Amino acid sequence: MAEKKINLLVKVWRQPSTTSVGSFVDYKISVSPDSSFLEMLDEINNDLEKKNLEPIAFESDCREGICGTCGLVINGQPHGPIPKIATCQLHMRNFKDGDTVWVEPFRAKAFQVMKDLIVERSGLDKIIAAGGYISVNTGSIPDANAIPISKERSSIAMDAAACIGCGACVAACKNASAMLFVSAKVSQLALLPQGQPERTRRVQNMVKVMDELGFGSCSNTYACEAECPKGISVKNIARLNREFILANVKSDNIEA
């Protein structure tokens, strides 16, 4: 029996470079419902290359939802219509025959389009470099459970650590705010004993860099939580606010 395919009109944002003007280009494709969204784009690209045309530039790496590299806005939603998955985990069976599918890059002042669907997300790395780490001396492997921590606390920290840094929160937010990302990173370390020595400095520096990079402010619409492929909770944003307010009030450093 011949495989049943669905026919789609895919409108893809094409932009040769950061400075050039972009526009949507229509592609008609007949695709297996079992293929993934990125495989569908691969098929379009195969076709384009056969015709000696420039393929669509998009990012992907692990294609199993853990690296955070892929990230497209599909029909107005980052990572597409299905909650709690990354673009690479979206399958064509979620679309109907005859559908029109709009594919856009993540849009934010801090995420400039480099080419087609690829955006510059190094801003998120800069925020991490500002404090999203712990400083420890290397040495021999520490004993397991040498540092006591409750199961509840480590679970909440682990949930925050599930953030893959894809930037969908920024893409989903009407203000292009990176608060969910920053809050997940701040929470993950603020909840653990290892994160305590740099706790104050960390939140102050990360928020400072976040603001400098031109991300917007949070207005509590919670769109980020709804679109996050890892289901990071906005309770982390509440924790970030608390951490930031307390850090600024309690820290003796008037320069920070």
Q: Are the C-beta atoms of 154 and 162 separated by less than 8 Å?
A: no
Per rule CB under 8 A, is residue 172 in the interface with another protein? yes
Toward another protein, which CB reaches closer, 34 or 212?
212
User: How far is 122 from 202, CA to CA, in rounded Å?
Assistant: 19
Query: Judged by CB under 8 A, does residue 127 bind another protein?
Result: no
Interface residue with another protein among 35, 94, 154, 248 (CB under 8 A) is 248
Considering the complex, what minimum distance in angstroms separates the CB of residue 201 from another protein? 14
Residue corresponding to tokens 């692990």: 62
Least gap, CB of 158 to another protein (angstroms): 17
Regarding 177 and contact with another protein (CB under 8 A), the answer is: yes
109 binds another protein (CB under 8 A): yes
Distance CA 165, CA 162 (A): 9
Q: How far is the CB of 179 from another protein (least distance, A)?
A: 8
Given a contact cutoff of 8 angstroms between Cβ atoms, the answer to whether 249 and 255 are in contact is no
Listed ranges 52-60, 126-134, 167-175, 193-201: which one lies at the site for another protein (CB under 8 A): 167-175
In this complex, which beta carbon is closest to another protein, that of residue 95 or of residue 244?
244
Residues near 175 by Cβ (< 8 Å), separated by ≥ 6?
216, 217, 218, 219
Region label for 235, one of left (φ > 0), alpha (ψ between -120 and 50) or beta (otherwise): alpha
Find the shortest distance in angstroms from Cβ 178 to another protein.
9
Q: Does residue 239 belong to the site contacting another protein (CB under 8 A)?
A: yes
234 binds another protein (CB under 8 A): yes
Please list, residue by residue across 86-110, b when 16 or more beta carbons sit within 10 angstroms of its beta carbon and e when fewer do.
Answer: bbbbbbbeebeeeeebbbbbbebeb
Q: Which residues, 43 to 82, sit near another protein by CB under 8 A?
A: 73, 75-77, 81
Q: In the bound complex, what is the minimum distance in angstroms from residue 223's beta carbon to another protein? A: 4
CB proximity list for 218: less than 8 A, separation 6 or greater: 173, 175, 177, 179, 237
Query: Which residues are CB-contacts of 239 (< 8 A; sequence separation ≥ 6)?
Result: 183, 186, 187, 190
Closest distance between another protein and the C-beta of residue 83, in Å? 9
Binding mask 203-222 for another protein (x = CB under 8 A): ----xx-xx--xxxxxxxxx
**Interaction site with another protein (CB under 8 A):** 11, 13, 24, 73, 75-77, 81, 102, 104, 107-110, 172, 174-177, 179, 207-208, 210-211, 214-223, 226-227, 234-235, 237-245, 248, 254-256
